[in-house]
Structure 1
Amino acid sequence: MQIRATNPEDKEQRREAILDAAEQQWLAQPERMANVAEIAAAAGLAKGTVYLYFRSKEELFLAIHERHVENFFKSMITRAEQDTPMQMKDVFALTRQFLAATNAFLPIATQCHGMMERHIPLEVGYAFEERTYVRLNTAVTALQRHFPLVNQALMLQSYALILGLWQLMRPTPLKELMQERSLICACNNDYLFMLDTALNALWRGALTPETS
């Protein structure tokens, strides 16, 4: 018989186990979102137990996305709080490392932005955004030690660039056909290189003081 988690630590461990199982299901079959029953089975839990933590699979995947965002901000804040001077190349390197190590981030982020408009209750979506903006502002404050002109707008523009460029470049049958018929060139395949170039231009433009 399954033992119900009662203390906060056990509950958090079980919640993390559910998120881990859902993310592994996604990585195994990225073309579809696993249902709650499949996620529960992968986590070794009853379906009803998963519903104690998440009211729907959409809210569960939003929680995965939030965990990704939290981990990214933590890594950025940890580096920014070090006394060693931080340069733009360090910001871009941390971004590349995170994206390379977190394969599910970009596709799940894309899914979640669509779900937020259609399947996530308004108050749940607002609470997610509120927590995200708290983390964002903490990251901005930490980065301002090294880049006084960094602000919330620049960070939001960077996120839009990360996600938007991936949506344009991600492999699809249509993209393969476009390359095959020379509508787009194969040089557009290197997402991380293109992202690095674009972020560098964005940050240099935003952080270079204007001269009269």
Structure 2
Amino acid sequence: MQIRATNPEDKEQRREAILDAAEQQWLAQPERITNVAEIAAAAGVAKGTVYLYFRSKEELFLAIHERHVTEFFNRVAQRALQDTPMVMGDMFAIKRQFLLDTPIFLPLATQCHGMMEKHIPLEVGYAFEERTYARLNTTVTALQRHFPLINQALMLQSYALILGLWQLLRPTPLKELMKERSLICACTNDYLLMLENALTALWRGALTPENP
């Protein structure tokens, strides 16, 4: 018989275990979003227990996405708070490693944006965005020690570029057919390289002081 978590530490551990299970399920079957029963079984809890922590499957996956976003901001802030001067290459290296370490970040981020428009209650979506923007502002403040001209807008533009370029280049049967018939160049498949080039251009334009 499953023992119900009662104290805050046990509840947080169980919540994290559910998120871990859901993430592993997606990694094992990236072509589909796992249902709640499968997540519960993988986490070793009853299906009803999952609903004690998350009101829907969509809110569960939004929580995974928030965990990813928090991890990225933490990595950036940790580096930015060091005394060693930080350059654009350091920022891009953090981004590259994060994307390599978190393979479901891009597809999940894309899914979550759609879910928040259709399946996530407005107040839940707002609370997520409020927490995210608070972390974003904290990270921007840390980065301003090294990049005085950086601001929230540049970080949002960078995020839009990260998602938009991935959606444009991600492998799909349609894109393979387009390459096969030479509708698009077969060489345009190095996402990380193209992303770094695009971000470099964006950051240089935004962070280079204008000549008087």
Q: What range describes the TM-score normalised by the shorter chain of this pair?
A: over 0.9
| Alpha-carbon distance between aligned partners in 1 of 2:209 and 2:187, rounded to the nearest angstrom | 33
The AA in structure 2 aligned to 1:133 is: Y
What is the distance in 2 between the residues matched to 1:194 and 1:47? 42
| Aligned residue in 2 for 1:173 | 173
CA distance in 2 between counterparts of 1:124 and 1:184 reads 40
- Which TM-score applies when normalising by structure 2? 0.99
Determine the C-alpha separation between the residues in 2 that align with 1:92 and 1:152.
Answer: 17
- Within 5 Å, which residues of 2 pair with 1:31-110? 31-110=31-110
Deviation at 1:183, TM superposition (A): 1.0
| Runs of at least 5 residues in structure 2 that lack an aligned partner in the other structure | none
Q: Unpaired runs of 5+ in structure 1?
A: none
Residues 1-212 of structure 1 mapped to structure 2, 5 A cutoff: 1-212=1-212
CA RMSD of aligned residues (A): 0.5
CA distance in 2, matches of 1:21, 1:187: 36
SS at match of 1:189: coil
> 1:186: how far off?
1.8
Q: Which runs of 4+ in 1 moved over 2 A?
A: none
Query: Structure 1 length as normaliser, TM-score?
Result: 0.99
**Aligned amino acid, residue 116 of structure 1:** M
Deviation at 1:30, TM superposition (A): 1.2
| Aligned amino acid, residue 11 of structure 1 | K
1:172-191 C-alpha deviation (Å, 9 max, x unpaired): 00000011011111211100
State how far apart, in whole Å, the 1-side matches of 2:164 and 2:87 are.
24
Amino acid in the other structure paired with 1:5: A
Tell me the distance in 1 between the aligned counterparts of 2:17 and 2:186.
40
Partners of 1:82 and 1:24 lie apart in 2 by 33
How far 1:207 moved relative to its partner? 0.1
How far is the alpha carbon of 1:140 from its aligned partner? Answer: 0.2
Once the two structures are aligned, what percentage of the paired residues are identical? 84
Read off the aligned partner of 1:70 and give its amino acid letter: T
Could you tell me how far 1:105 is from its partner in structure 2? 0.2
Partner secondary structure for residue 132 of structure 1: helix
